[in-house]
Structure 1
Amino acid sequence: MRFYHSELIRRGVRDYDWDRCWRDYRRYTLHGIMMGVVSALSVQRSERGDALFLKMTRGACAQALDHDSFSYWKD
C-alpha cells in the first residue's frame, strides 16, 4: 500500500495523504465480499465456479477482518 500510495502521488494525485489512502483501502475491502457473492449469483453454477467464488469471498472476508474493515459500517 505504501508503494501504491507513493505511485499515486508521483503520477500527479494531489490532496490524498497516506492516512486517507489506508482508510480507503480498509473501507473498500468490503467490495471484494460483495463481488464474490453477487457475481456468484449472476452466473451458471458449476463445481469449479462455486469453488472459485467461495475462495474469493473467504479471502475477502479474511482481508476485511484483518484490517477491521467492518468497523466503518457501525452506527
Structure 2
Amino acid sequence: MGELREILLDIGVEEDVIAPEHRLRSDLALDSTETVDLEKELQRRFGLTIDLWDKHDYTIAELAAMIQDARTRQA
C-alpha cells in the first residue's frame, strides 16, 4: 500500500482522500492524465497492465492486492 500511496501522491492525489475503500473515479476523481500516469507507473514498477478505463471502478485496496499478487509471482 505504501508504494501505491506514493504513486498517487506523485500524480497529484491529495493525501487526505487516499484510503483503502476509496474508488479511483468516484472518490479520487482521477482525471484522464492522472489515470494514464497511474496505469504507466503500475506497468513500470510492478509489471501490471490494468485497464483503469473499464467499467469497474477499482478501489485502492484492490490495486494494492494486485500489486501484492504481482510481487508474489515475481518472487
Fold-level match, TM-score > 0.5? no
More helix by share: 1
Normalised by the length of structure 1, the TM-score is: 0.31
